[in-house]
Structure 1
Amino acid sequence: MAGTSVISEQNSSDSINGASHKNRFALISLTSLFFMWGFITCLNDILIPHLKAIFDLNYTQSMLVQFCFFGAYFLVSLPAGHLVKKVGYQKGIVAGLVVAAFGCLLFYPAASMHSYAMFLSALFVLASGITILQVSANPYVTLLGPAKSASSRLTMTQAFNALGTTVAPYLGALFILNEAASAMEVAPSADSVKVPYLILTAALLLLAAIFAWLKLPHISSAETTKDEVLSGSAWQYRHLVLGALGIFVYVGAEVSIGSFLIIFFGEANIAGLEESQAAKYLTYYWGGAMVGRFIGAAVMQKLAAGKVLGFNAFAAVILITIAMLSSGSVAMWAILLVGLCNSIMFPTIFSLALNGLGKHTGQGAGVLCLAIVGGAIIPLIQGAIADIVGVQLSFILPVLCYVYIVYYGLKGAKPTTLSSKEQA
């Protein structure tokens, strides 16, 4: 990624982590995107118990919400990577916003038709737009400054993603679950989602117009010209392949825990909370991730990103184990504190995996976004486990995920190509 840095090493401790004035403006603009897709993604945690009650679903069926949402990453990431390579990062961002807006709009007919299948289809379209945003924005942020501060820079922008996930549970509980509870007194209805998702449609279209108008820095070091032949492949980098697995298990664990929190807090031996009350506690889970990202962005200016990642993952293993083996407020707050551990994981794994890929960065970003499909598969598996052994014991699956992340942070993230390892 040589040539993308336009500042001196003296400014690498800047709050926007090593960006020039022009790049700083681009990073500030991008924070709105990170906020928006964090907000939308976290609303799934509200939709799951809401749709479970309306359509009388079991745990496995209710997790189809996450399966369809994150399944889009698997199907759309590679085409999105090709799209971004062809049109550039900025136009890719605009395309992603328009597609996501259309997905939000589909929630209106889904609610009117009272169709779970239509809801799942709308979620897939919405997630397809967010996938294009991820493939465009994440690598763009890593390239807007020196490689040394890429993890810190992406962590800072991801903090605004966490701000979106912190605000979403409270507003979702207020405008979806509370409204739904009132409607359920008359008849089960999904109408409470109509207005919130229409507002999201308008907001996404407004952002698309703004990003179409903005003049963002053009990054050419990660692109190839028409006449240039790109040799090799991103798949030849061992740390990218291991990082893709890290993204798979991390997103799966984070989404799975978030998906079950409201149900977990409703258990008699935990807190026995109503859905609308339990949903507000999600703010602490996602809020911990937000606070941790701001702290992590500063910490990783001083400490190696891989070591910080390994430490956080180990702490998550301990906390989830406590939540599984205890009850009441101890179990409740132990699982909520996992959000603080999650804080730096996604941006750190993402930037470590892309480290040193050069012109393969775009393809590498597509591979990593492909791995976000873990958010579709792991919650579904945990749902099946919960149907058999109960919600509390089903958290053993996220524990195994975090164990792998400990390994990746401490050993697997070291930049190595498969060929160079074989030659060693």
Structure 2
Amino acid sequence: MAGVPVSSTSAARSDVSSAGANYRGPLITVTLLFFMWGLITCLNDILIPKMKQVFDLQHWQAMLIQTAFFGAYFIVSLIYFILSVTKGDPIMRIGYKNGIILGLLIAAVGCVLFLPAASLESYGFFLLALFVLASGITLLQITANPYVSILGPPESSSSRMNLTQALNALGTTVAPIIGGYLIFAGANASSGADSVRVPYVALAVMLLLIAGIIKISPLPKVGSEGTIVSDAGALKYRHLVLGIVCIFAYVGGEVSIGSSIIGFLELPNIAGYNEAQATYYLSFFWGGAMVGRFFGAVALAQYQSAVTKYGIMAVIGLVAFGLVYTLYDPAIAMIVLGLMAFNIFAFILGASNPSRSLGLFASITVALLAVAIFGQGSVAMWAVISIGLFNSIMFPTIFDLAIKNLGIHTSQGSSLLVMAIVGGAIIPPLQGAFADVTHNLQLSFLLPLICYVYIAFYGFIGYKPSRS
């Protein structure tokens, strides 16, 4: 069915083109969203050992936290897709700005639900609260990702996506530190479920504050906003369909690894750390994702001089090294410096090509997982931790490649990609079950390894835009 123009698409594109100088303001505003949902998502990795402790859960039961959270991505995105097919694209009706505000409000309600969940000490209620929270974030994902991708020149869209995702990774980096202190070690911490109250009430307040900022911020219309299409046209694009599978594999693989790192580092043949020590190292996993996305924002941008590009990346790396050296441990800082140098070398091999870089980074991650599975000691430990650095560009790059040339079907394609985030609800429990059955958490990393093999395929071959 042909699109019914509610407002002129060409006029909207013209409006954005003329507002090129104003891209920075809207991008900064939307970037707040990426930071917040990174913070919230990574707090799940702290909740898993906490709920396991409070409710005496098995591995697979504790992983239901990720199932509830990422299951919402699938269900809400499926509802969105059905509405877009039968009634027309919802975001095209209400606009990106209202879609963002609605998502923030729903997420805030989910955070508030942690209060009765803690009072009742009900694991099921906690899962319900996480589902509502993730429903709001799902709407933010559907709205904000394509907004960032099309808010500016198409040739630099991967760079913009990586820049905003770098702030998402900043949220995931500070989450283990803040969440670990408040839930496990702070004055608010307790052996029961009450210690989750303060973090999630604070999140609710922050989400409402950001909703207010978005409300008064002038966000320009972009691309096909205002054009309503009632069909399933997005599924006609082969590179989108393969991209949906790729997002499923990526999120499932990353969440499985992030959720298992604490348990992995507790293994006697790896590090033998306790929960507090392992949480400390989890921040390096997510910190690597943040630094890698800053690298990606520069490496995939359009610079006339390669010297300038890699000079900026070197400065970012030196700043990260200085922070780790000052705030943590000089020995760890030297390890981090070596990993960042290898990461920059991989970007050089990728030659600023998003798809080639994606395939290369996925191949490196496969090798690192093999070391984690069959190695031991500090080598295996840092192999897993360094995956965050090479994971860095994957989600924004896959998303950007998958929605290329979708036109009026961009938001519908975005909803399908967000639906695929359900991989984070399916793969972690499977890995947990694998670990329970085999009594070998280390060997269970074979599941995310398979996921990254597919990502390598998509980066080298499957990304090519085509319409059936």
Give the distance between the partners of 1:393 and 1:386, measured in 2 at CA.
Answer: 7
Of the structure 1 ranges 401-410 and 300-309, higher mean CA displacement relative to structure 2 is found in: 300-309
Q: CA deviation at 1:223?
A: 3.9
Give the distance between the partners of 1:192 and 1:214, measured in 2 at CA.
Answer: 35
- 1:206 matched residue in structure 2: 209
Q: How does 1:95-244 map to 2 (within 5 A)?
A: 95-179=102-186, 183-184=190-191, 189-224=192-227, 233-244=233-244
1:88-141 CA distances to partner (integer Å, 9 max, x unpaired)?
A: 111000000000000000011111111000000000000000000000100000
Give every structure 1 segment of 4 or more consecutive aligned residues whose post-TM-superposition deviation is greater than 3 Å: 1-8, 78-83, 179-182, 229-232
- 1:405 matched residue in structure 2: 455
Give the distance between the partners of 2:13 and 2:434, measured in 1 at CA.
Answer: 47
Q: Which amino acid aligns with 1:36?
A: M
Give the distance between the partners of 2:167 and 2:50, measured in 1 at CA.
Answer: 26
- 1:414 matched residue in structure 2: 464
1:175-221 CA distances to partner (integer Å, 9 max, x unpaired)?
A: 1111499633xxxx010000111111101111111111111101252
- Which of the residues 411, 435, 440 maps onto 1:362? 411
* Alpha carbons 1:313, 1:405 under 8 Å: kept: yes
1:153-194 CA distances to partner (integer Å, 9 max, x unpaired)?
A: 11111110000000101111111111499633xxxx010000
- Which of the residues 376, 385, 388 maps onto 2:425? 376
* Alpha carbons 1:138, 1:154 under 8 Å: kept: yes
Using a 3 Å threshold, how does the CA distance of structure 1 residues 173 and 234 change in structure 2: closer, same or farther? same
* Alpha carbons 2:224, 2:407 under 8 Å: kept: yes
Q: Which amino acid aligns with 1:218?
A: K
Using a 3 Å threshold, how does the CA distance of structure 1 residues 119 and 232 change in structure 2: closer, same or farther? closer
- 1:282 matched residue in structure 2: 282
- 2:370 matched residue in structure 1: 321
Q: CA deviation at 1:272?
A: 1.4
* Alpha carbons 2:149, 2:400 under 8 Å: kept: yes
* Alpha carbons 2:189, 2:195 under 8 Å: kept: no
Q: Which amino acid aligns with 2:233?
A: S
Structure 2 unaligned segments of length 5 or more: list them: 1-8, 82-88, 302-350
- Which of the residues 396, 402, 412 maps onto 2:446? 396
- 2:49 matched residue in structure 1: 49
Q: CA deviation at 1:239?
A: 0.1
Using a 3 Å threshold, how does the CA distance of structure 1 residues 273 and 231 change in structure 2: closer, same or farther? closer
| Identical pairs, percent | 55
Q: CA deviation at 1:328?
A: 1.3
Give the distance between the partners of 1:231 and 1:261, measured in 2 at CA.
Answer: 42
Q: CA deviation at 1:20?
A: 2.1
Q: CA deviation at 1:4?
A: 3.8
Q: CA deviation at 1:85?
A: 2.6
The TM-score, its normalising length taken from structure 1, stands at: 0.91
Q: Which amino acid aligns with 1:386?
A: A
SS in 1 for 2:270: coil
1:50-86 CA distances to partner (integer Å, 9 max, x unpaired)?
A: 1011111111111100000000011001444643232
Of the structure 1 ranges 117-126 and 207-216, higher mean CA displacement relative to structure 2 is found in: 207-216
SS in 1 for 2:227: coil
Give the distance between the partners of 1:350 and 1:183, measured in 2 at CA.
Answer: 40
SS in 1 for 2:267: coil
Using a 3 Å threshold, how does the CA distance of structure 1 residues 55 and 214 change in structure 2: closer, same or farther? same
- 1:248 matched residue in structure 2: 248
Give the distance between the partners of 2:209 and 2:181, measured in 1 at CA.
Answer: 24
* Alpha carbons 1:224, 1:230 under 8 Å: kept: no
* Alpha carbons 2:369, 2:383 under 8 Å: kept: yes
Does residue 350 in structure 1 map to residue 399 in structure 2? yes
Give the distance between the partners of 1:182 and 1:68, measured in 2 at CA.
Answer: 24
SS in 2 for 1:268: coil
Q: Which amino acid aligns with 1:337?
A: S
- 2:5 matched residue in structure 1: none
Give the distance between the partners of 2:293 and 2:381, measured in 1 at CA.
Answer: 22
Using a 3 Å threshold, how does the CA distance of structure 1 residues 307 and 142 change in structure 2: closer, same or farther? same
Report the RMSD for the aligned CA atoms in angstroms.
1.8
SS in 1 for 2:190: helix
- Which of the residues 361, 382, 389 maps onto 1:340? 389
SS in 2 for 1:68: helix
* Alpha carbons 1:306, 1:409 under 8 Å: kept: yes
